[in-house]
Structures are given as structure tokens and as C-alpha cells.
Amino acid sequence: MFGLDVEFRQVSKWADINRLTLNTAKTKEIVFRRPKVKYFHMPPAIDSIEQVDCCKLLGVFFQSSLKTDSHVQYILSQCAQRMYILKLLRSQGMPNVQLSTVVYSLIIARILYALPAWGDFITSEHKHRINAFLNALNPMDI
């Protein structure tokens, strides 16, 4: 019997004792590993639990390789969509002071969200992409 199966049964037992429901249909397993490792043995999947390479947890994408590609792409996509709202507010005559508050609330806060969880794994390319997005913001918006 493999150790992960035993551990998962213990978690399931604990959930039952504490009257919690463990939804195995929504449960995923991710195995974190160093990128470009020469020899890596992927442990067998736990019965009925899907193994994934990337998962979203509380709005942050985690990749098994500990890269931040998926997360940076996700937040920049969200921020680009939110730029439309800023353009609408500007066209409706919102003053710059209030507009800067909206920029911080919709864009800056989204980029900073959970930064301690993913910020140490960011590459210089990702920093450049985020900075380029922020530099593209109209100075009157901030």
C-alpha cells in the first residue's frame, strides 16, 4: 500500500468524524517538482483523484513546475478586461481622483493579490510583462 493512499484515507476518516463532506469529484492532486530535474518518478495517482499539472486555488494558479506562467497570463488577462471599465468611466466624465481609486481597486490590487505566494517564482520576463502593462496605463488614470 502506497503512503499517499494511507494519508488520503486518514484525511477522509478525519472528515467523516468531523461531519465534513469530502467531494472527490472536485479534489485534485498536484505534485510539485523542480523544473528540468533529470530523474523524476511521478507517484501513482490516488484512486478517484485526478492528478493535474496546474490548479487554481483562491485565485492563484499553481503549476507543478513552480513556474508562474499561468498565473501571470491570468492576471494580465483580467486586468486587460478591466481596462474597458476604466475607459467607460473616463468617457462618462469621472474625475481623475476617483478614477485613480478605481485603477487601484481593479488593477493594482489584482496584481498585488497573494503576491507573497507567487512573487518569489516570477521570472524577469514576467516582471517585464507586468511592468509593460502598468506603463501602458494612461498616466491620467493613476
Print burial letters for 70-83: b (CB count within 10 Å at least 16), e (below 16).
bbbebbbeebeeeb
Identify which has the larger pLDDT, 15 or 44. 15
Instruction: Give the pLDDT confidence of 84-140 residue by residue, as tens digits.
Output: 888 899 999 999 889 889 999 999 999 999 999 888 889 999 999 999 998 887 655
**All cell numbers assigned to 28:** 485534485
Q: What is the pLDDT of residue 42?
A: 67
pLDDT at residue 139, rounded to an integer: 56
User: Helix or strand or coil: residue 136?
Assistant: helix
On whether the pTM is more than 0.95, the answer is no
30-56 pLDDT tens trace: 888 877 777 766 677 777 788 888 999
CA distances from 79 to 34, 66, 85, 86 (A): 30, 23, 10, 10
Q: Of 1-5, 50-54, 59-63, which has the strongest mean pLDDT?
A: 59-63
Are 48 and 23 contacting, i.e. CB atoms less than 8 angstroms apart? no
Assess whether pLDDT exceeds 60 at residue 2.
no
Q: Would you say residue 142 has pLDDT above 70? A: no
How many residues belong to the chain?
A: 142
Handedness of CA 44, 48, 53, 57 (dihedral sign): negative
